[in-house]
Amino acid sequence: MASSFLCKARKLSSSPFSSQFLKYFRFAPSATITTTANNAENYFTEQNNNTIRRDTQVSSYKFGSRRRTASIGKTPHSLVHKANTVDSYSAVELALNSVVKIFTVSCSPNYLLPWQNKSQRESMGSGFVIPGKKILTNAHVIADHSFVLVRKHGSPTKYRAEVKAVGHECDLAILVVESEEFWDGMNSLELGDIPFIQEAVAVVGYPQGGDNISVTKGVVSRVEPTQYVHGASQLMAIQIDAAINPGNSGGPAIMGNKVAGVAFQNLSGAENIGYIIPVPVIKHFISGVEDNGKYVGFCSLGLSCQTTENIQLQNHFNMQPDMTGVLVSKINPLSGANKILKKDDIILSFDGVPIANDGTVPFRNRERITFDHLVSMKQPNEKAIVRVLRDGKEHELSVILQPLQPLVPVHQFDKLPSYYIFAGLVFVPLTQPYLHEYGEDWYNASPRRLCERALRELPKKENQQLVILSQVLMDDINAGYERLAELQVLKVNGTEVENLHHLCQLVENCSTDSLRFDLDDDRVIALNYEMAKVATSRILKRHRIPSSKSIDLNDAQSNLQVGLACSS
């Protein structure tokens, strides 16, 4: 298997999926990314023979995993807390006036027919009050929402809630309720610290099987970066042995009289293995929203790194016996590290914290955690000091960190898909939700070339998209081109396509009689421009499609026209 936590797609295609899966409790689309970057191979991640994949047909997400033994050594007696330190009665008392049940009506888009939505669905989750008259819950509880209601314990009334901020990468969201009646008697919960191994927590929420509040006790068994299945990210998570069932999502895990985390997913096929989002991730999300008025994301160095545990590899790069670090193998061209770091650099430390040859850094008492955690806890535009070994010499470099987006988006929640139709040719940007429409086994069922590019390619410039011809709505004007669907559009009349908006401009500003599209695999589409414009209206009417372009393209064109009018 590939090092640096990147999976080689060719090996995945011949490897059977595991029989155990990680899931969370709602059926919105999702994905995963590599641990060291929002980058190339950003959906399938294979780590220690673990495989993550998505199920588009059922209301769960699946995570194949082989159980691993925690290797933290002996913990000093002073840090060991007995499981019975959490009083379930006190947890209930805290929760009665803080935890709410959330009712969500959602409607996901249809990426194969991007002008349509799928059928409306209803789901339920949990949430709890935090200071400032806000409710914290999971992003997957309200993803693609069209209507959200909340109900407090002991009340028959449901109150309308609005989504103030949502961070799909960290699977967190903030709701606000305008009704003053709702807040009467409600108390906020205070955030605590990361629990130690063997500390006890109580998970409070509204799991399936009943309508009243439920409290489940459990013990912390592991703290480490984990795949956040909903948000396509690798962030710190706490593993506990408390049952986390559908409906628990968004509920607090209480330790003593404070919140230790937010319940969000569990390991299906295993008994009582659940995961909660720890307080540092929660605080990072909340502080970003408070400082910027919206979700700002989690930073990334934009690197793919390889471990340096092999002694011959260390000697090749002139690493001294007392040196440890990881090898830079790939850099995202849009990252702040692109002009600072180089391929084959050895990263020795991050902000003064030495990095081991396996990519981990010290964490608390005889525990270790991947250095990506240090990166992800940085705020956007914050500087980091990176010490590297380059050509046998040590250098101390400063890197400005930013959240990074992959070339092919891994999720598209809470927004409508983009599309453009001309002469029955349906053009869309390539996204992983589009590939998910090929079904549960989308990795093998979707077009191989598109799948490989979705997993591997890096962006070369800002706002770049891979535009594809998704389908051909048949008409006399496009007869014979139907077999060219699912190919990438490379050029329009000789001009390279940067994104879907650019393609739309090239088509609508065509000044020649003939319009030519150059596609992948050296295929060509040629149309008479005036005849194609007439055919477009005919085809839209026949298929009952309200517009030839998505709302975002119409808005972009309107803004461009306004800008041109102002400049003139």
- The per-residue pLDDT for 87 is 56
* Integer Cα distance of 305 and 328 in angstroms: 5
- The per-residue pLDDT for 443 is 87
Three-class SS state of 417: coil
* Integer Cα distance of 343 and 328 in angstroms: 5
Q: Which of 270, 277, 225 is nearest to 243 (CA)?
A: 270
Per-residue exposure over 210-231, b if at least 16 CB sit within 10 Å of its own CB, e if not: eeebbbbbbbbebbbbbbbbbb
- The per-residue pLDDT for 440 is 84
Three-state SS annotation for 81-92? CCHHHCCHHHHH
- In the chain the domains, ranked by start, together with CATH numbers, are 89-183 (2.40.10.10), 199-292 (2.40.10.10), 303-401 (2.30.42.10), 420-563 (3.20.190.20)
CB–CB of 359/371 below 8 Å?
yes
Three-state SS annotation for 471-512? EECCCHHHCCCHHHCCEEEEEECCEECCCHHHHHHHHHCCCC
Per-residue exposure over 24-42, b if at least 16 CB sit within 10 Å of its own CB, e if not: bbbbbbbbbbbbbbbbbbb
Q: How many CB atoms lie within 10 A of CB 309?
A: 14
- The per-residue pLDDT for 268 is 74
- The per-residue pLDDT for 203 is 92
- The per-residue pLDDT for 556 is 64
AA letter at 196: F
- The per-residue pLDDT for 364 is 84
AA letter at 404: L
φ, ψ for residue 536, nearest 5 deg: -60, -45
> Exposed, middle or buried, 552 (CB in 10 Å: 0-12/13-18/19+)?
middle
Task: Give, for all 568 residues of the chain, the pLDDT tens digit.
Answer: 333 333 323 232 333 333 333 444 333 333 322 333 333 333 333 333 333 333 322 233 333 333 333 333 333 433 444 444 445 567 778 788 899 999 999 999 999 999 999 999 999 999 999 999 999 999 999 999 999 999 999 899 999 999 999 999 999 999 999 999 999 999 999 999 999 988 999 999 999 888 888 888 889 999 999 889 898 888 999 999 887 888 889 999 999 889 999 999 988 777 778 999 999 999 999 999 998 888 989 999 999 999 999 999 999 999 999 999 999 999 999 999 998 999 999 999 999 999 999 999 999 878 899 999 999 999 899 999 999 999 999 999 999 999 998 999 988 898 889 999 999 999 999 999 999 999 888 888 999 899 998 888 889 999 999 999 999 999 999 999 999 999 999 999 999 999 999 999 999 999 999 999 999 999 999 999 999 999 999 999 999 999 999 999 987 665 544 444 444 4
CB–CB of 430/468 below 8 Å?
yes
- The per-residue pLDDT for 67 is 33
* Integer Cα distance of 266 and 268 in angstroms: 6
- The per-residue pLDDT for 88 is 57
- The per-residue pLDDT for 244 is 83
Q: Which of 253, 388, 251 is nearest to 331 (CA)?
A: 388
- Within 73-150, residue ranges assigned H as helices are 88-96, 139-142
Beta strand 21-23 with 274-278 is unpaired
Q: Could you list the active site residues?
A: 140, 171, 249
